[in-house]
Amino acid sequence: MADRPGPQVYSIAAHRGFADALVAGLLPRYSQPDVGLARLTLLLPSSRAARTVTEAFIRLSGNGLLMPRMAVVGDLDLDETLGALLDPLGAGAAIAPAADPMRRLFRLAQAIPDAMSALGREAPSGAARLRMAGQIATAIDRLLVEDIDPAALWQERVAQVLAEMSGHWVENTKVFYAVQQMWAAELRARGEVDAATRRNRLFAHAAERWRSDPPKTPIVAAGVTSAAPALAGLLRVVSELPGGAVILPDLDLSMDPAVWDELGHAGAPEADPPLARGDAVTHPQYHLKLLLNRMGVNRSEIQPWHRAGLGKGPPERSHAISNLFLPPEASKGWVDLPADKRRLAGVRLLETANPEEEAQAIALLVRQAVAEPERRVAVVTPDRGLARRVVHHLRRWNIEADDSAGRPLSQTAAGRLFLLLAEVGAEQAAPVPLMALLEHPLVRLGDERGAWLDRARVLELQLRGPRPAPGLEPLRETATEAAVADWWSEVETILAPLMDESEARLADLLDRMVAAGEALAGENLWAREDGRALSALVEDLRLHAGEAGFVLAPGQLPAALRDLLEAVAVRPPYGGHPRVAIYGLLEARMTRADLVICAGLNEGTWPATPALDPLLAPAVLRALGVPGPDFRIGLSAHDLAALLGAPEVVLSRSARDVQGPAIPSRFLLRVRALLGRKMSDEAADMTTLALARALDDAKPAPRYSRPQPMPREDQRRVRISVTALDRLRSDPYQFYASAILRLKPLDALDAEPTPAWRGTAAHEVLETWHKTGRPMAEVAEEVLEQMNHHPLMRALWRPRLMKALEWVETMIAAHPERKPVLFEEWGAMLVRGIEIFGKADRIDRFADGTLAIVDYKTGQPPSGRQVENGYALQLGTTGLMAERGGFKDVAGPPTAFEYWSLAKSPKSETGFGYVATPILTGNKRSGIPLDDFLPEAKRFLDEALDRWILGQEPFTARLNPDAPGYDTYDQLMRLDEWLGREDGE
Segment 359-368 mean pLDDT: 96
> Does 1 have pLDDT greater than 60?
no
CB 743: neighbour CB atoms within 10 A?
12
Describe the strand order of the beta sheet including 219-222 as a list of residue ranges: 69-72, 41-44, 219-222, 245-249, 9-12, 303-304
Q: Where are the beta strands (DSSP E) in 391-518?
A: 407-408, 504-505
Instruction: Tell me the three-class secondary structure of 867-904, residue by residue.
Output: HHCCCCCHHHHHHHHHHCCCECCECCCEEEEEEEEEEE
> Does 313 have pLDDT greater than 80?
no
**What confidence score (pLDDT) does residue 982 get?**
62
Segment 804-811 mean pLDDT: 86
> Does 41 have pLDDT greater than 80?
yes
Distance CA(122)–CA(118), nearest Å, equals: 10
Question: Binning pLDDT at 50, 70 and 90, where does residue 726 land?
Answer: confident
**Tens digit of pLDDT for each residue in 926-964?**
888 999 999 999 999 999 999 999 999 999 998 888 777
**What confidence score (pLDDT) does residue 792 get?**
62
Segment 696-722 mean pLDDT: 90
**What confidence score (pLDDT) does residue 768 get?**
85
393 or 757, higher pLDDT:
393
Question: Quick one: CA dihedral 603, 607, 610, 611, positive or negative?
Answer: positive
CA 699 to mean position of chain CA atoms: 36
Closest by Cα among 311, 319, 313 to 343: 319
**Tens digit of pLDDT for each residue in 107-125?**
999 999 988 888 888 888 8
pTM of the shown model: 0.86
Taking CB atoms within 8 Å and a gap of at least 24, the contacts of 109-115 are: 109/133, 109/548, 109/550, 110/548, 110/549, 110/550, 111/179, 111/182, 111/183, 112/136, 112/175, 112/179, 114/182, 115/175, 115/178, 115/179, 115/182
Segment 675-687 mean pLDDT: 85
What average pLDDT does the structure give for the chain? 87
| Residues facing 897 on adjacent strands | 853
Distance CA(414)–CA(526), nearest Å, equals: 7
Terminal Cα-to-Cα distance of the chain (whole angstroms): 81
**What confidence score (pLDDT) does residue 324 get?**
84
**Tens digit of pLDDT for each residue in 462-521?**
998 888 888 999 899 999 999 999 999 999 999 999 999 999 999 999 999 999 999 999
Question: Which of 258-267, 331-340, 525-534 has the least mean pLDDT?
Answer: 331-340
**What confidence score (pLDDT) does residue 369 get?**
94
Phi and psi torsions of 389, nearest 5°: -60, -45
> Does 783 have pLDDT greater than 80?
no
Q: HSE (CB half, 13 Å, CA atoms) of 570?
A: 22
CB-based contacts of 613, cutoff 8 Å, min separation 6: 135, 138, 139, 142, 621, 629
**What confidence score (pLDDT) does residue 2 get?**
43
Paired sense of beta strands 912-916 and 894-904, if any? antiparallel
> Does 772 have pLDDT greater than 80?
yes
Question: Binning pLDDT at 50, 70 and 90, where does residue 791 land?
Answer: low
Closest by Cα among 893, 877, 894, 878 to 942: 877
> Does 446 have pLDDT greater than 90?
no
Segment 662-690 mean pLDDT: 88
748-757 burial, b for 16+ CB within 10 Å, e for fewer? ebbeebeeeb
Question: Which of 140-154, 186-200, 774-788 has the least mean pLDDT?
Answer: 774-788
Distance CA(901)–CA(905), nearest Å, equals: 9
**Tens digit of pLDDT for each residue in 392-407?**
999 999 998 888 888 8
**Tens digit of pLDDT for each residue in 85-101?**
344 444 445 778 889 99
**What confidence score (pLDDT) does residue 983 get?**
58
Distance CA(155)–CA(380), nearest Å, equals: 43
